[in-house]
Amino acid sequence: MISRSDQRFLADWWWEIDRVALLAMMALIAIGLVLAFAASPAATAHSSTQTGNFHYAAKQIAFALVAIAITLGASLLSLRAITIGGTIIFGLALLGCVLVLFAGPEVLGARRWIDLGFITLQPSELLKPGFAIVCAAILSQKQNGPIAKELLSFILVAIPFLLLVAEPDIGQTGLLLALWGAMLFFDGVSLVWIGMITSAGAALGGLAYVLVPHVHHRVEQFLAPVKKGGAQTGLSLKAFEHGGLAGVGPGAGSIKYHIPYAHSDFIFAVAGEEFGLMLCSLIAVLFGLLSVRLLLRASTARDRFVQLAGAGLAMLVALQAFINMGVAVHLLPAKGMTLPFISYGGSSLFAVALTMGFALSITRQRPQTAPLPRTRPVLRGAQA
């Protein structure tokens, strides 16, 4: 046990961080590993047989260990180190997004990944936590420079917006714009501007529906009746129906073998089939607990940067989880977005681990030490 009287660095860290949020994250990672073993046979099975292996589960264990190390390491950083590190990560992620347009392999008509041999990296995943840090640093400035801080944040989001559209990655683009709008809202921008930003986002979504074929196809599938809609969503709903309240049991699922990307984009459907509504509800509660804890910590901070960065990082995790689960239960069109901490994938898990590490560090309740009052020195012999 770590005593409160122990003033070593790690002891201070333990008492300063949000331990409830840390435990919620660990629980989500543990659930993700269980579901990786459930979904890996389906992802590796041959089309003619329902037999596969645990290749993805084994890799996910290695990814999880690295992700935990990233979270713990980032949570030890100072606010200055996080600001510098977030800026560097954002810059490198932008460079990676440029690189994939020219050197990235084309998969399903999109260029989003860099093949490093031992891992396939998706730079857009690292854009999000880096953007949250840099945007918070800009908006937390007390005085505007030559360019208004709101306009500067718009320029900051416009550059990755153009790169993500060029890939194309409409899901990540929408998430990034939503994060920017949420941070402006937390900064106190008037509701008129929020309404204008929301309207502009809706207009961009309509434009994507008209001009981007796969976006048009996914929206049409979403709007169609379930029986005539997309194969993924229809199978996902059947998986939830098959699982019922308590699920069919670990490894006993059958519909998961027919769901494309069951180990990543539709891992929530695997949870619904094999473990039922009970586990799905637990996952939703853990995400809610994690997000609310971070938001509450950020709201009680004295530093403006801590307030904005903490709230932005919390909203990033909450929005991505809501989108993934919403797609799985047919509340949203398919986005190709992973479920944080749970879906298979190194890039996604490392990025959300970094997000969580930044959030834990930023929301640490560091002691506030007031400066000692200055007093005039008393000279001997000066007393009357």
- Could you tell me what percentage of the chain is helix, strand and coil, using 3-state DSSP and rounding each to the nearest 5? 70, 0, 30
* Dist CA 133 CA 142 (whole Å): 16
Q: Is the pTM of this model over 0.85?
A: yes
Q: In the structure encoding, which two tokens stand for residue 279, read together?
A: 């586990």
**333 found inside a domain:** yes
Q: Which single residue is written with the structure tokens 């730079």?
A: 123
Q: Supply the range of the domain harboring residue 317.
A: 17-44+52-362
State residue 343's pLDDT score: 93
Query: Up-side HSE of residue 381: CA atoms within 13 Å toward CB?
Result: 0
185 domain-assigned: yes
Inform me whether the pLDDT recorded for 143 exceeds 50: yes
The residues, any chain, with a CB within 8 Å of residue 230's CB and separated by 6 or more, are 218, 221, 222, 334
Does residue 380 belong to any structural domain of this protein? no
- The amino acid present at 305, given as its one-letter code, is F
CA separation for the pair 148, 12 (Å, rounded):
38
Would residue 224 count as lying in a domain? yes
Residue 170 above 70 pLDDT? yes
pLDDT band at 383, cuts 50/70/90? very low
Please provide the average confidence, as pLDDT, over all residues in the chain: 85
Q: Provide the domain count of the chain.
A: 1
Average pLDDT score over residue span 138-165: 86
Residue 169 CB-density burial (10 A; 0-12 exposed, 13-18 middle, 19+ buried): buried
Cα 3 to chain centroid, rounded = 33
375 domain-assigned:
no
Q: Kindly indicate the confidence band of residue 22, based on its pLDDT and cuts at 50, 70 and 90.
A: very high
Q: In this prediction, what percent of the chain has a pLDDT beyond 90?
A: 47
